[in-house]
Amino acid sequence: MAYKWRKNLACFSTYRVLERDDRLDQFEEELVPLDKSAGKYKVSYMAFYPDDGSPKVKEKAARNIAVKFIRFTIKDYKPKKEETSQTLKKWHGELTNLFKDGDKTLTDIAEVQDEYCKFKDEMED
């Protein structure tokens, strides 16, 4: 079954890290409200995405934003999962692949967040 945009911390953190002015500031909340339609917002619409860039330029931009995305996710949401260098490398690699593909969406990014992060709303007391 395909991942769905919903009210959970994986989707919320994806949106907020990318939207907030003091984080990655890739889009404006007024233009992309946090609702069901936000999950359809494409990577190619984001400010960092090099429309006319070569594959090498897109790869470099994607790697850069993936590092920042992971850093802000860990800082702001403190997800719990094993944070080995291998896990972080795989998480970074998957995010890089998403960020360089303009047809990917916030839902695709949230799916990777959900795979690599265990947020407070998923933890047992």
**Helix (H), strand (E) at residue 19:** helix 9-19
Q: How many domains does the chain have?
A: 1
Q: State the residue range of the domain holding 66.
A: 9-27+39-122
Check residue 50 and report its DSSP letter.
Answer: -
Give the pLDDT confidence of 59-93 residue by residue, as tens digits: 999 999 999 999 999 999 988 776 677 888 999 99
| Phi, psi (degrees; rounded to nearest 5) at 69 | -60, -45
Q: Confirm whether 33 is domain-assigned.
A: no
Instruction: Report pLDDT for 125.
Output: 46
Query: CA-CA distance, 110 to 116, in Å (whole number)?
Result: 10
Does residue 56 sit within a domain? Answer: yes
Instruction: Count the Cβ atoms, other than its own, within 10 Å of residue 97.
Output: 15
Is residue 2 one of the residues assigned to a domain?
no
Give the distance between the most distant pair of CA atoms in the chain: 49
65 lies in some domain: yes
pLDDT in tens, 21-67: 999 999 999 999 999 999 999 999 999 999 998 999 999 999 999 99
